[in-house]
């Protein structure tokens, strides 16, 4: 296991990617491992417990649905929903169809967004789930880019403006982390109007990058999908970007 992948297994990257004005706490339910940041005045001691209870409920509903519809778990392409699908599954399915990938490609973004939307009384909320982000913010934020062994890794960030939020920013990689990718992108970071869509499109974009000559194929794919507002793709010492992507040197 590389040092970079150890960072993802142990979530050590979280310490260097947190807003100083927010209070952070963790909620972990099986594979759902959330880092949640809220404004100090919004934080309450029982917030983590309440969210954990809700995540448990959502996961149980999704697992029950998958038991009766195993293709939803295994497919790498969109699948039709069956009656009784829970809201999490419906969000994943919508994103999957737009992106042309399997519904599980949107699971991390779907849980991040669902948790973020619970915190209606918090003016600023950041929910991170395995590197996939739901952001609601009243101030500018910088989202650091982790891109494996690329020289851009941890050296650039993408600016997020308050008027863009709430939004999703999700990253897929064929060289970093445990998620399935059919490509070899060091990072395919997507901004979208919601986190499940950003998650699914990041997977689809990353799948298209087998080498440095395929960066624009990923950009053109993401650009064609309604609801996507920006994409940054990195492979080795090359990058390509489109849309609402303002890079800031770290």
- The set of residues, in sequence order, having a beta carbon less than 8 Å from that of 72 and lying 6+ positions away, is 65, 66, 79, 89, 103, 104
pLDDT band at 3 (very low <50, low <70, confident <90, very high): very low
CB 189 within 8 A of CB 231: yes
Residue-number span of the structural domain to which 105 is assigned: 3-249
pLDDT in tens, 196-238: 999 999 999 999 999 999 999 999 999 999 999 999 999 999 9
- What would the pLDDT profile of 62-87 be if each residue is shown by its tens digit? 999 999 999 999 999 999 999 999 99
Q: pLDDT at position 16, please?
A: 45
188 by DSSP, 3-state: which?
strand
Taking Cα atoms as reference points, which of 109, 128, 125 lies closest to residue 193? 109
Rounded to an integer, what is the distance from CA 245 to the centroid of its chain? Answer: 16
Residue 21, CB-side half-sphere exposure with 13 Å CA sphere: 12
Contact predicate 62/72, CB 8 Å: no
What is the domain-level CATH number for residue 148? 3.10.520.10
Q: Which of 38-42, 75-79, 172-176 has the lowest mean pLDDT?
A: 172-176
pLDDT tens readout for residues 90-103: 999 999 999 999 99
Local confidence band at 183 (pLDDT 50, 70, 90 cut-offs): confident
Residue 134 sits at the vertex; the CA angle it makes with 141 and 89, to the nearest 5 degrees, is 170
H or E segment at 221? helix 215-223
User: Is a pLDDT exceeding 90 seen at residue 11?
Assistant: no
- CA pair distance 139, 204, nearest whole angstrom: 30
State residue 179's pLDDT score: 57
Please compute the mean of the pLDDT values over residues 173-184 and round it to a whole number.
66
Distance in angstroms (rounded) separating the CA atoms of residues 166 and 125: 9
Tokens of 105: 């490609």
Q: What is the tally of structural domains in the chain?
A: 1
């Amino acid at each position: 296991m590389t040092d970079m992948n150890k960072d993802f297994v142990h979530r050590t990257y979280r310490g260097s990617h947190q807003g100083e004005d927010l209070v952070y706490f963790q909620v972990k339910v099986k594979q759902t491992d959330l880092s949640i940041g809220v404004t100090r005045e919004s934080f309450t001691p029982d917030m983590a417990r309440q969210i954990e209870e809700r995540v448990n409920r959502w996961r149980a509903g999704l697992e029950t649905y998958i038991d009766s519809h195993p293709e939803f778990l295994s497919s790498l392409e969109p699948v039709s929903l069956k009656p009784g699908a829970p809201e999490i599954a419906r969000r994943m399915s919508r994103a999957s169809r737009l992106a042309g990938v399997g519904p599980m490609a949107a699971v991390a973004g779907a849980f991040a967004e669902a948790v973020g939307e619970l915190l209606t009384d918090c003016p600023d909320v950041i929910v991170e789930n395995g590197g996939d982000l739901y952001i609601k913010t009243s101030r500018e934020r910088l989202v650091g880019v982790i891109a494996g062994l690329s020289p851009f890794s941890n050296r650039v960030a993408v600016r997020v403006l308050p008027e863009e939020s709430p939004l999703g920013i999700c990253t897929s990689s064929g060289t970093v982390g445990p998620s399935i990718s059919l490509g070899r992108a060091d990072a395919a970071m997507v901004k979208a109007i919601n986190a499940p869509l950003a998650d699914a499109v990041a997977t689809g974009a990353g799948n298209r990058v087998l080498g440095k000559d395929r960066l624009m194929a990923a950009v053109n794919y993401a650009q064609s999908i309604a609801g996507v507002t920006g994409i940054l793709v990195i492979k080795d010492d090359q990058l390509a970007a489109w849309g609402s992507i303002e890079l800031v040197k770290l």
